[in-house]
Amino acid sequence: MTQLCASVDDAVAGIADGSTVLVGGFGITGMPFALIDALIRQGAQDLTVVSNNAGNGDTGLAALLAAGRVRKVVCSFPRQTDSWVFDELYRSGRIELEVAPQGSLAERMRAAGAGIGGLYTPTGVGTLLAEGKETREIGGREYVLELPIAADVALIAAHAADPLGNLVYRKTARNFAPVMATAATTTIVQVAHVVEVGDLDPEAVVTPGIYVDRIVQVAA
């Protein structure tokens, strides 16, 4: 049952210390800024954050990192021209980093959401990122075992939702959000528009409401 929250603070209520939190976005595109700001106010700490990047500039995920709430980041591409918050935390030994190939990151979350216990991928074979991981030859090709990434919470942004939690996205702001929505115990979505049940074309719904626990409307 999807809950339509009155405020972003209501939407992030109850996120526990030590949670694993999936944060949508590719850079700042699709990043759920309002939910992250609310999470900073809410105060949960010792978080493991899974996101494609490790924060840009001083807002959004970077602000959560700067507030000292994140113990570990799992991402594909932390180092960017504007990732100074993460860079400083990493270089001073105040944050852990797990780097994952971007496709493996996405597929590990997909596996968690789909009840799959792991996946064999050719990505990473023979590289530093496969060290210590099981490998297996299948059909004459070598694969590396990657384990699912299941989370306590997903924070994502969508373009529009109906009160049942059905979601549509806009352009490349979709990125990781549909996969993250499936992989968390509690999926929390900030949307620019809440429409009536029946207003979304069922053929166009990208994330069915079964994956969505809380939605909150924020200014577009």
Partner 1 sequence: MSVTSVPALQHTDRGPLSRDEMAQALARDIPRGAYVNLGIGQPTTVADHLPPESGVIFHTENGMLGMGPAATGDAIDPDLINAGKLPVTELPGASYFHHADSFAMMRGGHLDLCVLGAYQVSAAGDLANWHTGDPEAIPAVGGAMDLAVGAKQVFVLMSLFTKSGESKLVEACTYPITALHCVDRVYTDVATFDLTTGEAVGVRETWGISFDELSARLDVPLTWAGS
Per CB under 8 A, residues contacting partner 1 are 26-30, 52, 76-80, 86-87, 90-91, 97, 99-107, 109-110, 121-129, 169-179, 206
Q: Which is nearer to partner 1, 105 or 153 (CB)?
A: 105
When the beta carbons of 101 and 165 are compared against partner 1, the nearer one is: 101
| Shortest spacing between CB 2 and partner 1, in angstroms | 20
Q: State the nearest-atom distance from the C-beta of 14 to partner 1, in Å.
A: 27
Q: Which residues contact 205 (CB under 8 A, 6 or more apart)?
A: 166, 167, 168
Query: Is-contact 191 160, C-beta < 8 A?
Result: yes
SS3 assignment, position 182 = helix
DSSP annotation of 18: T
Return all residues near 159 (Cβ < 8 A) that are at least 6 apart. Answer: 167, 168, 169, 170, 173, 191, 192, 193
The CB-of-17 to partner 1 minimum distance in angstroms stands at 26
Report in angstroms the alpha-carbon separations of 138 from 26, 103, 121, 141: 32, 19, 10, 5
Q: Which is nearer to partner 1, 131 or 196 (CB)?
A: 131
* Residue 91 or 203 with smaller CB distance to partner 1: 91
Q: For partner 1, which is the closer residue by CB, 91 or 202?
A: 91
* Closest distance to partner 1 from the beta carbon of 184 (Å): 15
Structure tokens at 22: 């999936």
CB of 7 to partner 1, least distance (A): 24
SS (H, E, C) 73-108: EEECECCCCCCHHHHHHHHCCCCEEEECCHHHHHHH
